[in-house]
Structures are given as structure tokens and as C-alpha cells.
Structure 1
Amino acid sequence: MAQTATVQEFKKTDSATTYKILFIIALCHLLNDSIQSVVPAMFPILEQSMGLSFTQLGIIGFSLNIVSSIMQPFVGMITDRKPMPFALPIGLMFTLIGVLGLAFAPSFLLIVISVVFIGLGSAVFHPEGSRVAYMAAGPRRGLAQSIYQVGGNSGQALAPLITALILVPFGQKGAGWFTIVAAVAVGLLVYIAFWYANKLKIDGHKPKEMKNLAPASFSFQRQIRFYLLVILFLIFARSWYISGITNYYAFYAIDKYSFSIQQAQLYLFVFLVAGALGTFFGGPLADRFGKKTIILLSMIGSAPITILLPFVPHYFAVVLLAIAGFILMSSFSVTVVYAQELVPGKIGTMAGLTVGLAFGMGALGSVFLGVLADTIGLTLTIISTGFLPLLGFLTLLLPSDKQIADIYK
């Protein structure tokens, strides 16, 4: 199970954390995901202007996320074998093309095609961005991944503000402003690409150094595959709940609380901002208390809140949204690092698989929950999704950080 990867991914844990690179790649992550957030942010606008059903809106979300989900692991596998620093700015060029098309698409079909381009850009960015964070982490992998991921979650948190401040006043064409955001991201990623390429030259690319990282026993490898499946299933549960909130809670709040689009989007903004904060704090807490512990507490701790949320008045709902977002998303970066340490030598592949799966499960959740809302009603759909975090009890099946380290001694 010898793996090909850059030596620094496994040998540089004694080096200092490169905060400058971490903050720049986190900013790029923010810009990339703020562009992606334009798509679900446009749902209320498209529902009114084009008369789209919940199912059609779900298909748009599916088209965006499934492309990214399928492509991310493949990008990760390719770049594990042959790192491609300049794939980062090239990927964002696809995003730029997609967001430009989104702003001027006159039909449902062209909207779907545009979001596919945005999905392609995301598929390239996420595994390679996670690799950059890993390379710059030094000994603080949890913190580094949190800094990187909080950039993305902060970008997603901008979706309600994008709706309230840009898309409601300017409509669909307001998305065109995000071509500027994409251009800025491309410029920053060119800088990152030069750093990345130079880092490869300094540290070398020596696959033979990786030979001792895999457990020799087939039974160990089978155990690791089982643990990985558990992690992916936990991501599935978390992603479906987040998909339900980000895509459909605004409609629920408009119906239940008689909110305007702007008011409903502000509630969603609270959930997403709290989630970004949870993402940031989750990594350092995992460095201190263990990744398994944080994953377990994140899922189980949020369950009572998500179950109660649909039944409370609006002034209490905003508080519960903030708490649920913070707790649930505290495991976002932790699951990425956990998978990377569970399968060493596959940094890009594991980042693509875990983050890509989050997109993919969100895509399937978007379609399924849209169909469910059209079938049984939005209220019952929101109530049902509140029970998903209870699947976090499956975390008890996972090994601790120390047990993983012992496997690879």
C-alpha cells in the first residue's frame, strides 16, 4: 500500500506552521464558496421569476454539487500521484465562466449548465486547497484545516446576505458581480501555485519514503476501510441536515413566521455564521481532546436542538439555529483530518472524498428533500431532518487518534 505523495505531507510535522499561506488559501476558499453560495441563494429569486418547483430547485442544487462530489476524489487521486500547483487558478477560471453564465441564463437548462461549470471549478479547488493547508500546517493539522475550512464556511454563510443585498435588488443579473470575486481568487491562487511549486522543489517528491506508512496486515486494511465508511456515513447525515436548512429553511420561515425573503435569509445567515465559527474552533479542540471525541460531541450534542427547532417561536428559533450551526459544524474540518490520518499517503484523495462527499450528499439531499417537500409538505420535511444528527452515535465504532497512530507505528 505504498503511496505516492510529496514527502512534506508526512515528514514536515516538525516544521513551523506557515500562517501566511494558510490565511491566503482560506481567503481563496471564502471567495470560491461565496460564489457557490450564489446558487442556493438564488433559489427564492428563481422560484418567483421562473416559477420553478422545489423539485427543479433541487435539481439545480444537485447539478452543482454532484459534479463536484464525483470529480473531487478523482482530482485528489491524480494530484496525489502528480501534484499540479497551477490546477488551482485554472479551476477557478471554470468557476468564473459558470457564474457569468448563471447571471444571464434565460432558461432552466442553461442555469443547470452554468452551475455544472461552477461545480467543476469547485472539484479542482477543494482537494488541492486542502493539500496546501496540509503542507503549510506544520505540527498543527487540526488548526490548519480549520483555518482553511472556515474560509469556505464563511463564504457559504454569505449566501443570505448575497440574497438580501444583491439578488433581491438586482435579480438574477446580480450574480454577475461575482465574476469580480472569481477574478480576485484566480490572482491569489496564482501566488499560491508558485509557493506550492517551490515547496515541491525544496522538499522533493520521493514516493519511496512512504513505504512504511501502511499496515502490512490485510485485516488492518479491511478495518481501515470500515472506519472510513463510518466517517463517510457520518458526513452523509450531517450534509443532509445542512442541505435541508440551507436550501429549504428560508421557505419554511416565510411560511411559518410570515417572514419576507430578507428576514428569512438573515435567520439562515445566523446558522451559517455560527457554523463557520464552529468549524474554526473544532480543529484546535480536536488537536487537544482528540478527533473522535469532537466528532461524537458535534453530532450528538446538536441532535436535541435540531429536533426542537421546528417547534419554537421565531425569536427562539434564531438562538437554536446559532447553537445548532456552531455545534454541528465543529466537526467539519475534523472529519477531513481524521480521514487523512486514517489513510496516510492519500491527502488529496481523502480531502476530495470527505469534502466531495459533503457536496455530493448535499446534492442528493437537495433533490430528495425537494421531492419530499413537494410530497408531504415542507413542515414535515424540516421536522424529519432534525433527527439526522442522532446517527452520530455511530462515531462510537471509530478508533481513537492514539489507536490510529498505533496502527502505523
Structure 2
Amino acid sequence: MKRSVLLLSTGHACVDVYQGAVPALVPFLVSERHYSYAAASAVVLAATLLSSVVQPVFGLLTDRWRMPWLIPVSMLLAGLGIAAAGTSGDRALVWAVVAVSGLGVAAYHPASARLARAVTRGDHTAMSWFSLGGNVGFAAAPLLVTPLLAAGGLGATPWLAVPAVAGALMTVLVTREPAPARSSSGASGGRRDDWRMFARLSLVVTFRSIAFFGVSTLLAVVAKQRMDGGSEAGAAALFLLFAGGAAGTVLGGRLAGRFGRVRCTRAAYALAVPSVAGVAFLPGPLVFLGVAATAATLYVPFSLQITLGQDYLPGRVGTAGGVTLGLAVSVGGVVSPALGALADATSPSAALIPVIAAPALAWALARTLREPRPIETAAVPPRTEARA
């Protein structure tokens, strides 16, 4: 299993490079192609919004038909779309190929989450490593894209197809392995889908997304102001946010094995409230403590929410993955323009104050969740759990 999890995690990183690559293209589209910021933002929207909305659709498809080939094919689509983005000066064509990349990302996540659940047999730690791959890929995208395009310009984007090809080859090795008996790729054990609990979980994930996007949108500017420094302070804060998130993802998997997913989720969001408040209010270098705590507390539930969604919908595992990894996760980006407008009217620190409400609402909703029986142990009587 370890080999398969490693391959899946690496493949996840290769795909999510293309989610992080689109924002990294913006400065080069502005400087080389003379795009306005509105036109450049439309390119980002083409990838992120379309990907988020379509992911549940692909989840429905993977629930109806077994399509292991979709995973490597979607990886190639994600990479080839970005690879072609710099080869044409036609704005409509650039928008179209970036949208194709977004479709590839959308197709990948529900199918890969389903396969990861089958391979890991619901092991929380193994699933956290799969989720970690995506976090690493997203964070590494600017480190890959910016130096490459700084040296070769937008004409160098074809080189960005390399991670997709490498990831597709690695993932094919996993899709050829037989799925474990009675895994998430099999039957639901006679259990009904619990749409009420899944709807609550989706709202929890949505508020988590709002908190994360709110902090990450304003963090670089806030850190720069608190430290009275240059862009290095903002870059350091963002790196800490991503690095702390990676640690939190793995920690969440380990804690869930001991205390349960729902209990860990509740505790994480309760701790996220003072953590986000720390980013908003802590002075000077102390802001980095708030950033580290925010990263850990917002990422501890990340992989746990994926398996919770799958266990709430045992008959629609692909749909659950599409929503928890796609629509609900990215919806937080919708609030970013509003927070930017508030920061213009007040200050970046003041604009973070309403963000504190997001983890508080996530915690309140998480208190209404129950711990579901894992699909793999459907025959085992459910474990009761006191609310945290």
C-alpha cells in the first residue's frame, strides 16, 4: 500500500501544480502580452471557477461508471492546457486552453479521491498523505513557473507539461492494481446515503475555504506592514502558511486514528478562531505565530473531511470527493474581491476581522456532525461519540 500511496500523492502534486500555475502566469501575461488586470483575472477565473463547478459532475460520472483511465487522461489535459497557454497571442484561445486545464483538474479529483480511498482502505494517515501531495503541488507551482518564465518568457510554457506526463505515468501503475475487496470502489454495504449530514459537512468545508482564502489573500500585505519590511516578509508568511498546512494535513490523519475524525475537526476549528484572530491582531513578528497556528488548524481537518464525505455518501463516493475537493473548497475564492474592497476602504488588518467568523461558524456546524461508520467496516456497529 505504501508504494501506491506514494505514487498517488506524487501524482496529486503533479496535478495541483496546474492550479497554482495559473495565478503565477498573471504577471507575465500583463508584462509580455499587455493584459489588463481584469483580462488576467478572467484567465484565472476560467481555470478556478469552471474547475470547481464541474468537479461534482465528474463525481457523478465516476459513481456510475468505473473509469480508471480518466485519472491519467485528466492529468494530461491539465498539463497540456497550461503548456499551450503561452504559445498564442490570441486571448480567446488562451482563455480556452486554460479552461481545458481546469476541466482536467476537475476530472482528476473525484476519480483520484475514489481510487485513493480504495487503495488506502480508509486509513486516515494514508489519506492525509494523498491530500498532502495536492498541497505541496499547489505551493510549489510559483517556484516552478516563475523562474522558468522569467528565463524563457511565455514561450517556455510547453515545458510545464513535464509534471503532467510524469504524474500520468506514475498513476497508471496504481490504476492497474486490483482494488481491495469491499473498498470504496465497491458496494455501500447496504447503507443509505446521509444527505443531511453531507450538506452540513459541505457547509463546514465552505466556511473553512472562506477562512483560508481570506487569510491567504491578505497575508502578504499584512506581514509586510507588521514587519515594516519588503516583500520578503510577505513571502516568508505565505511559505509558513503552506508549510504549516502540509504539517497540519499529516497531523490530522494521525490524530483522527486516535480520537476520531469529527472530534478532531471540531477541535481544529475551535482552535482556528483564536489563530485567525492572531493573524488579524498580533503585532510585529508575533504575527508569524498566528500564521503557523492558522495553517495547522485549518489543515488538520482537510483530508478528514474527504473521507467523512465519502462515508456519509457510501453509494456516491465520487460525488462526495467532487464536492469536498472541488466546489466547497474553492468557493472561498468568491469572497476574495469583497475582502480586497474592504481592505481598500479600511486596512488589510481590519479586513481580516470578519474572517474570524468563518472558523467559528465551521466549528458550530461541526458540532452537529456525527461520526459515520467507515465504508470498509459497514458491518461494524456505529460508535457513539460525545460532542466536543
TM-score range, shorter chain: 0.7 to 0.9
2:139 to 157, 169, 177: 157
Deviation (angstroms), 1:121: 1.0
Aligned to 1:213: 191
8 Å contact from structure 1 (residues 307, 383) kept in 2: yes
Determine the C-alpha separation between the residues in 1 that align with 2:144 and 2:282.
Answer: 27
1:344 to 306, 310, 314: 314
Aligned to 2:332: 362
Cα-to-partner distance string for 1:117-148 (whole Å, 9 max, x where unaligned):
2211111111111111111113x431222111
Determine the C-alpha separation between the residues in 2 that align with 1:43 and 1:254.
Answer: 22
More RCO (CA 8 Å, sep 6+): 1
Aligned to 2:288: 318
Aligned to 1:29: 12
Determine the C-alpha separation between the residues in 1 that align with 2:45 and 2:341.
Answer: 12
Change (3 A) 1:301 1:313: same
2:364 to 388, 393, 409: 393
Aligned to 2:272: 302
Deviation (angstroms), 1:271: 0.6
Is 1:70 the counterpart of 2:53? The answer is yes
Change (3 A) 1:205 1:150: closer
Change (3 A) 1:362 1:182: farther
After TM superposition, the structure 1 = structure 2 runs for residues 276-287 of structure 1, keeping only pairs within 5 Å, are 276-287=246-257
2:168 to 174, 183, 186: 186
1:89 to 52, 72, 93: 72
8 Å contact from structure 1 (residues 249, 382) kept in 2: no
Cα-to-partner distance string for 1:196-236 (whole Å, 9 max, x where unaligned):
xx448x889997x546222xxxxxx7xx3232222111111
Change (3 A) 1:256 1:210: closer
Change (3 A) 1:204 1:332: closer
Deviation (angstroms), 1:32: 0.9
Is 1:237 the counterpart of 2:207? The answer is yes
Alignment gaps of 5+ in structure 1: 1-17, 215-220
Determine the C-alpha separation between the residues in 2 that align with 1:350 and 1:275.
Answer: 22
AA of the residue aligned to 2:168: V
8 Å contact from structure 2 (residues 78, 100) kept in 1: yes
Deviation (angstroms), 1:386: 3.5
Determine the C-alpha separation between the residues in 2 that align with 1:31 and 1:211.
Answer: 34
Determine the C-alpha separation between the residues in 2 that align with 1:204 and 1:395.
Answer: 26
Change (3 A) 1:206 1:326: closer
Deviation (angstroms), 1:332: 0.4
Aligned to 1:120: 103
Change (3 A) 1:163 1:122: closer
Deviation (angstroms), 1:266: 3.2
Cα-to-partner distance string for 1:333-366 (whole Å, 9 max, x where unaligned):
0011111111212111111111112443134234
8 Å contact from structure 2 (residues 266, 367) kept in 1: yes
AA of the residue aligned to 2:370: P
Determine the C-alpha separation between the residues in 2 that align with 1:48 and 1:380.
Answer: 31
AA of the residue aligned to 2:170: L
Aligned to 1:148: 130
Determine the C-alpha separation between the residues in 2 that align with 1:120 and 1:178.
Answer: 17
Change (3 A) 1:402 1:72: closer
Change (3 A) 1:69 1:149: same
Aligned to 1:7: none
8 Å contact from structure 2 (residues 207, 332) kept in 1: no
Change (3 A) 1:378 1:204: closer
| SS of equivalent to 2:169 | helix
Determine the C-alpha separation between the residues in 2 that align with 1:112 and 1:259.
Answer: 36
Determine the C-alpha separation between the residues in 1 that align with 2:104 and 2:280.
Answer: 35
Q: TM-score, normalised by structure 1?
A: 0.80
Deviation (angstroms), 1:48: 6.4
8 Å contact from structure 2 (residues 63, 316) kept in 1: yes
Q: TM-score, normalised by structure 2?
A: 0.84
Determine the C-alpha separation between the residues in 1 that align with 2:185 and 2:156.
Answer: 48
Aligned to 1:129: 112
Change (3 A) 1:292 1:255: same
Aligned to 1:80: 63
8 Å contact from structure 2 (residues 84, 157) kept in 1: no
Determine the C-alpha separation between the residues in 1 that align with 2:149 and 2:262.
Answer: 40
Determine the C-alpha separation between the residues in 1 that align with 2:124 and 2:21.
Answer: 29
Change (3 A) 1:160 1:265: farther
Q: Over the residues paired in the alignment, what is the CA RMSD in angstroms? A: 3.3
8 Å contact from structure 1 (residues 59, 366) kept in 2: no
How many positions carry a matched residue from both structures?
Answer: 378
8 Å contact from structure 1 (residues 291, 401) kept in 2: no
Aligned to 1:8: none
AA of the residue aligned to 1:395: A
Deviation (angstroms), 1:64: 2.0
Aligned to 2:245: 275
